[in-house]
Structure 1
Amino acid sequence: MTETADILVIGGGIGGIGAAARLAPEAKVIVLEREDAIGYHATGRSAAVFIRNYGNATVRALNAASAPVLENPEGIADSSLLTPRGEMMVAAEGEIEALEHYLAGSDGLQEITPDDAVGRIPILRRERIERAVFEPNAQDIDVDRLLQGFARLARSGTGRIERRAEVAEIVRARTTWQVRTKDAAYEAPIVVNAAGAWADGLAAMAHVAPIGLTPMRRSIAVLPMPDDLGVERWPLVVSGSETWYAKPERGRLLVSPADEDPVDPHDAWPDDMVLAEGLHRFEQAMTISVTRVERSWAGLRSFVADRTPVCGFAPDADGFFWLAGQGGYGVQTSPALARLAGDLVLGRTPELTPDVVAALSPARDGIGPGTGTLQ
């Protein structure tokens, strides 16, 4: 027996669950998630920091639109999803140009002295710092509360989230999409493709043109730190050329080589050599050595060629809606993208400006077949 819905959302990461949260009050929505739990892949492996100056101009517009929701998540959570952290970028010799590029178009960044940088993170090697900047408004995001808040809204009314529901077939039949999993069949006039790293594969299954999505691995190592350093008070610190970053968490440091190695969609794990090289770059900037890694993991950040998310109806398939390519910005932009997806799917005028909506469209120039290799 085929179950009917108004909208099928394929993918239970922060993108799909967020979109379902904004659609469920006005439509029967069913989310199909292939894993045992929502947020299993990229969402559950996020560095969980809200950085207003992260990304290109369109992403920064999404950051700005998401900030009020994260600060006052009415209907999602009972208090702010943000806590103070701060972000510091330190540039060694040869990284000044990269730092200047990051500063271009930024807002709220403060240039600080190398001594000030070391005062904030005392294990930094002072002689390697040529310039440093600080963003006081960078904040930690409570990702789990955000995801679970979205999930409660997605389940409101007739909404439902189906786990262990990997899509095996998706076809267009007259005015509806027919979707089959191993155990069930569904039908709806609209499908939201929020399948993360698998989004282009899902499109191919549906005979919809791809957007040129490239999944890229990002690794993390957890390093123990001495209790007397007061690590939890430190800001996030990033190298000027973004070849490593370190974030305090529960008295430890999460250190990433900031890797972006193209890979096929899969349940990601770290490459030992990539992780070792990244930890070496981190060591060069610090006065301490890495003697032990408590644990490590990896996730996938999926980009299209212009590194801007894709949100909108496919130009070549009625009722097929793209919500993909969020890259490393998926969690922090999820409130704005969820709202936009809801507006577009339900035919409302978007709250975002027309130029931002156009920059996110799957019909824009520069993405699509043959554009998936990032330079």
Structure 2
Amino acid sequence: MSQQTADIIVIGGGIAGISAAAEMAKSAKVLVLEAEAQPGYHSTGRSAAIYIRNYGNAVLRAINALSEPTLAQPGGISDHSLLSPRGELLIASEDEMPSLEAYAAGATGLERMTGAEAAKMVPILRPEPIAAAIYESSAQSIDVDRMLQDYVKLLKARGGTIIAKARAQKIARQGGAWQIEASGTLYTAPIVVNAAGAWADAVAALAGVAAMGLQPMRRSAALLNLGPEHDVESWPLFGTTAETWYAKPDAGKLMVSPADEDPVDPHDAWPDDMVLAEGLHRYEQAVTVPVTRVEHSWAGLRTFAPDRTPVVGFAPDADGFFWLAGQGGYGVQTAPALSQTAAALIEGRAPKLAQPALDALTPGRFFSN
């Protein structure tokens, strides 16, 4: 069996693993093992591609804010901004007002609107059922493909290596180093970073490390063509504060998601026809244009820890095993901040993220005394 050694091995070539590897490659020899034929095949390649500062719990909002400067001015990663103007409009019926108030609590930069004002911004919305709306002008589209490819280029420029079709089959700690068997090669490093997304708990099990209770959730989407009479590119992302559906302009068409969160096992996800149909029906009830044909549909996995906060830090039960998982639906927009945080923790530097947020991310929070 051939062998390769490194200072750090990252398992998982999604945006989380690739961006962290690129950050760590500044001062270490880094290998990325990706099970698929190319990086970003699963959740990264099926992202809604949106930056929303107020999306998620308080910890995630702090991470989002820390990521924004890098996304806006990614010097050293990309030659120009990874963001472009979009905006986010969330509507609420009378019954959904508690979810609107919960979203607005602790949020910044929101503008309240009436149903009529919301329908003026997105002309296909029915204003009558809308009790209130909130608009976040700072929400922006993310060029996810360019972001991933630019991090790949940065990683390689710093001497890092990505090995595709290298699914970990055995992981063991011997002589102060981790040994990983993948596709007929033995990879060895003192530190392994578990950035395997939906498969992160399975990777931990291979290594004999306690699981975090991560749960992959399926999220479906469909692409609709509303025709030339609708200038969808001028619209913001729009949906309900209760997350019963959302829609986002996509190259002149409209991507609509049922905002489903169905627990599933890790797999190459595909949409459930009934779930998609029910979600499109909810969307139809809010707009004036019926769904006549779905051009394309797909699904991805969003993997959450039990408290819906990412898991970032060294495992308390295994030397040199670092968790970078559980990003849920926030993986792309949190990647700059979490990759910088992971690199700092591994190198023994103080991260930019405030201590309360770091404490909320640590894997040790799931361990009792």
TM-score by length of 2: 0.98
Aligned to 1:224: 225
Aligned to 1:89: 90
For the aligned residues, what is the CA RMSD? 1.0
1:352 offset after TM fit, Å? Answer: 1.1
Counterpart CA distance in 1 for 2:107 and 2:282 is 26
Counterpart CA distance in 2 for 1:324 and 1:267 is 18
Q: Percent identity?
A: 60
Aligned to 1:373: none
Distance 1:368 1:128, change over 3 A: farther
Count of aligned pairs = 367
Counterpart CA distance in 2 for 1:368 and 1:305 is 13
Counterpart CA distance in 2 for 1:97 and 1:42 is 30
Q: Is 1:260–2:261 an aligned residue pair?
A: yes
Q: Give yes or no for contact 1:8–1:31 (8 Å, CA) kept in 2.
A: yes
Aligned to 1:27: 28
Counterpart CA distance in 2 for 1:46 and 1:298 is 9
Aligned to 2:330: 329
1:368 offset after TM fit, Å? Answer: 6.2
Counterpart CA distance in 2 for 1:368 and 1:330 is 24
Aligned to 2:198: 197
Counterpart CA distance in 1 for 2:183 and 2:149 is 26
Q: Give yes or no for contact 1:25–1:156 (8 Å, CA) kept in 2.
A: no
Counterpart CA distance in 2 for 1:368 and 1:155 is 37
Counterpart CA distance in 2 for 1:253 and 1:288 is 12
Unaligned runs of 5+ in 2: none
1:350 offset after TM fit, Å? Answer: 1.0
Q: Give yes or no for contact 2:22–2:158 (8 Å, CA) kept in 1.
A: no
The one-letter code sitting in structure 2 at the alignment partner of 1:176 is: A
Unaligned runs of 5+ in 1: 370-375
* Cα offsets for 1:182-221 (capped at 9, x unmatched): 2211100000000000000000010000000000000000
Q: Give yes or no for contact 1:343–1:350 (8 Å, CA) kept in 2.
A: yes
The one-letter code sitting in structure 2 at the alignment partner of 1:255 is: V
3-state SS of 2:316 partner: coil
The one-letter code sitting in structure 1 at the alignment partner of 2:93 is: A
The one-letter code sitting in structure 1 at the alignment partner of 2:172 is: V
Q: Is 1:357–2:358 an aligned residue pair?
A: yes
Summarize the alignment of residues 162-311 of structure 1 with structure 2, pairs less than 5 Å apart: 162-311=163-312
1:115 offset after TM fit, Å? Answer: 1.1
* Cα offsets for 1:238-293 (capped at 9, x unmatched): 11211100001111110000000000000000000000000000000011111100
Aligned to 2:54: 53
1:152 offset after TM fit, Å? Answer: 1.3
Aligned to 2:130: 129
The one-letter code sitting in structure 2 at the alignment partner of 1:11 is: G
The one-letter code sitting in structure 1 at the alignment partner of 2:199 is: W
Counterpart CA distance in 2 for 1:363 and 1:271 is 36
Aligned to 1:342: 343
The one-letter code sitting in structure 2 at the alignment partner of 1:96 is: M
Q: Give yes or no for contact 1:235–1:247 (8 Å, CA) kept in 2.
A: yes
3-state SS of 2:199 partner: helix
* Cα offsets for 1:338-363 (capped at 9, x unmatched): 00010011111111111111111001
Q: Give yes or no for contact 2:312–2:342 (8 Å, CA) kept in 1.
A: yes
Counterpart CA distance in 1 for 2:231 and 2:148 is 30
TM-score by length of 1: 0.97
